[in-house]
């Protein structure tokens, strides 16, 4: 704020013009403001009294466009006090440039000062456009002073300054010490960032100054870190020729002061700007930021990938501590139909295996389900007396155990109950349906029954319990 321009220019009237001083006066509407002529503080080695004693006169103008209009001091709202202008109660229309001219008949020099007047923002005690900025690294020590209040103090008296944070009184923790017009934070923490407003009284009016404290991470001593692509070995990307492609380079930058992140792509030893027009870089994009540490992204864009583009591309990131890089390798993608064909055939094979397995395990259930839901009354026209015959192994009654008893109960009671009563099948069960009678069967029937009982006898010899259901229609009705 106190730096001055070191070059001058000659105006058309022969006056040495130092242009606009870099110090900007800022105030809220209704506050008193003192604008001092900067010539006596940085541009010439004299003060107002000495200049006046040598016959030099100080005149004030307000710039209105390209014109400089002489100021008429009313003494009510604005007055002249030696080398300064006093605004007793500044207003919004007072914003602008004020020029002080020191001259006599042979000498002329001038400089302009800027004054900005603003009103409080809604619900706040400050205007964000006229804040003062301070920065501090986390864990460091920071002193915040009430700025530009030297002209509003009574000589020999310590100013009575009240501090607020975010426009509210604050119970400061033990490491925050207020002394006079300064606030000392002995160990800055992240939550210390924000707006600090100092308030003091002068001639019955309140004067407020607001300082925005930005807390940053500690100044880094490391180069940036590539996040994608990874360091050490290239990341291979399979591409389809003729298709557009976007490759993003992401990197982390520690806090390095005012310098911004430097990130760029190269193909071999060439910058992207030197390549064909269908390859270009996008805009650097800030993905996230915390305490001045940033994660940024820069994209490499191909309008349509060509054969000549299949190469190695390197993303470079650097700061004042060093440089790092990571690469991607573009590779032509194999035709994908082979993979799709193999996958399709494999799916069909698995489906067939699944269907066969289901049929093998649940063939009876499937037949019953089909007959119940889709089959007609086939028994009415097939000229058969039975739909199936059921056989089970009978064992010696002396060797009858619980398991065989349960099997016989299942064969003679449970199974017929389900198949005959529920599903409508007609079963032939020898112990139930083969009863002595005077009628003789045909030769085929006898042969069939003899074969049936012969098989049962063989199973008895093996002394194994086995239940058989033969879905063979017996005894056709002629």
Q: How confident is the model at residue 114 (pLDDT cuts 50, 70, 90)?
A: very high
Whether 225-332 and 9-118 are alike in CATH topology: the answer is yes
pLDDT tens-digit series, residues 311-326: 999 999 999 999 999 9
- Would you place residue 430 in the very low, low, confident or very high pLDDT band (cuts 50, 70, 90)? confident
Give the pLDDT confidence of 183-236 residue by residue, as tens digits: 999 999 999 999 999 999 988 889 999 999 999 999 999 999 999 999 988 999
Residue 368 has pLDDT above 90, yes or no: no
Q: What is the pTM assigned to this prediction?
A: 0.65
3-class DSSP assignment, residue 13: coil
% of the chain beyond a pLDDT of 70: 81
Looking at the chain, the whole-number percentage of residues with pLDDT higher than 90 is 53
Handedness of CA 467, 471, 474, 477 (dihedral sign): positive
**Of the candidates 354, 106, 333, which has an alpha carbon nearest to the alpha carbon of residue 239?**
333
Pairwise CA distance, residues 5 & 42, whole Å: 9
Number of H helices, E strands in the chain: 6, 29
| Domain 128-216 fold | Immunoglobulin-like (2.60.40)
How does residue 465 score in pLDDT terms, banded at 50, 70 and 90?
very low
- pLDDT band for position 467 (50/70/90)? low
Q: Where in the chain are the domains?
A: 9-118, 128-216, 225-332, 336-375, 378-470
> Using only C-alpha atoms, what is the Rg of the chain?
50
pLDDT at 332 over 80: yes
- State the pLDDT confidence band at 395, using cuts at 50, 70 and 90: low
Chain CA centroid to CA 348, Å: 41
Looking at the predicted structure, is the pLDDT value of residue 12 above 50? Answer: no
Q: How sure is the predictor about 468, in pLDDT bands with cuts at 50, 70 and 90? A: low
Report the pLDDT averaged over residues 244-264: 94
Q: Which CATH architecture has domain 9-118?
A: Sandwich (2.60)
Q: Compute the mean pLDDT over every residue in the chain, rounded to the nearest whole number.
A: 83
The residue that leads in pLDDT, 158 or 29, is 29
Query: pLDDT category, 413, cuts 50, 70, 90?
Result: confident
Instruction: For the domain covering 225-332, report its CATH number.
Output: 2.60.40.10
Residues whose CB is less than 8 angstroms from the CB of residue 84 and which lie 6 or more positions away in sequence, other chains included: 34, 35, 36, 37
Under 8 Å between Cβ of 108 and 56: no
Instruction: Tell me how far apart the alpha carbons of residues 153 and 385 are, in angstroms, rounded to a whole number.
Output: 124
Is pLDDT at 3 greater than 60 in this prediction? Answer: no
């Amino acid at each position: 704020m106190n730096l001055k321009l070191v070059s001058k220019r000659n105006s058309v009237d022969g006056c040495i013009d130092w242009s606009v001083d870099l110090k900007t006066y800022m105030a809220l509407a209704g506050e008193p403001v003192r604008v001092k002529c900067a010539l006596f503080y940085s541009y010439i080695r004299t003060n107002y009294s000495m200049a006046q004693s040598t016959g030099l006169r100080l005149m004030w103008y307000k710039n209105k466009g390209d014109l400089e209009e002489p100021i008429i001091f009313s003494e009510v709202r604005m007055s002249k006090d030696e080398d300064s202008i006093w605004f007793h109660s500044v207003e919004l229309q007072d914003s602008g440039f004020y020029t002080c001219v020191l001259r006599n008949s042979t000498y002329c020099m001038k400089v302009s000062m800027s004054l900005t007047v603003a009103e409080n923002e809604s619900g706040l005690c400050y205007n964000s456009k006229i804040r003062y900025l301070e920065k501090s690294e986390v864990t460091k020590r920071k002193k915040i002073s009430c700025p530009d209040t030297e002209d509003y103090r009574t000589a020999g008296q310590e100013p009575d300054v009240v501090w607020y944070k975010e426009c509210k009184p604050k119970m400061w923790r033990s490491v925050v010490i207020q002394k006079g017009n300064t606030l000392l934070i002995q160990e800055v923490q992240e939550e210390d960032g924000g707006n600090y407003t100092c308030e003091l009284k002068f001639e019955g009016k309140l004067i407020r100054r607001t300082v925005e404290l930005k807390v940053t991470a500690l100044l880094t001593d490391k180069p940036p870190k590539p996040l994608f692509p990874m360091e050490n070995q290239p990341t291979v990307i399979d591409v389809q020729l003729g298709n557009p492609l976007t490759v993003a380079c992401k990197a982390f930058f520690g806090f390095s002061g005012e310098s911004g992140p430097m990130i760029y792509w190269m193909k071999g030893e060439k910058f992207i700007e030197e390549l064909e027009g269908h390859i270009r870089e996008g805009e650097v994009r800030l993905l996230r930021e915390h305490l001045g540490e940033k994660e940024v992204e820069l994209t490499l864009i191909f309008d349509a990938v060509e054969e000549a583009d299949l190469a190695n591309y390197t993303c470079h990131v650097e700061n004042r501590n060093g440089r790092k890089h990571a690469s991607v390798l573009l590779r032509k993608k194999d035709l994908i139909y082979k993979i799709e064909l193999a996958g399709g055939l494999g799916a069909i094979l698995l489906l067939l295996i699944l269907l066969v397995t289901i049929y093998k395990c649940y063939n009876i259930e499937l037949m019953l389900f089909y007959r119940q839901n889709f089959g007609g009354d086939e028994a009415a026209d097939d000229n058969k007396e039975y739909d199936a015959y059921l056989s089970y192994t009978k064992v010696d009654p002396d060797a009858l155990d619980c398991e065989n008893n349960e099997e016989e109960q299942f064969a003679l009671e449970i199974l017929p109950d389900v198949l005959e009563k529920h599903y409508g099948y007609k079963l032939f069960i020898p112990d139930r349906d083969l009863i002595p009678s005077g009628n003789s069967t045909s030769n085929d029937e006898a042969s069939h029954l003899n074969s049936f009982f012969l098989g049962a006898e063989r199973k008895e010899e093996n002394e194994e319990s086995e239940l058989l259901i033969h879905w063979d229609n017996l005894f056709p009705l002629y």
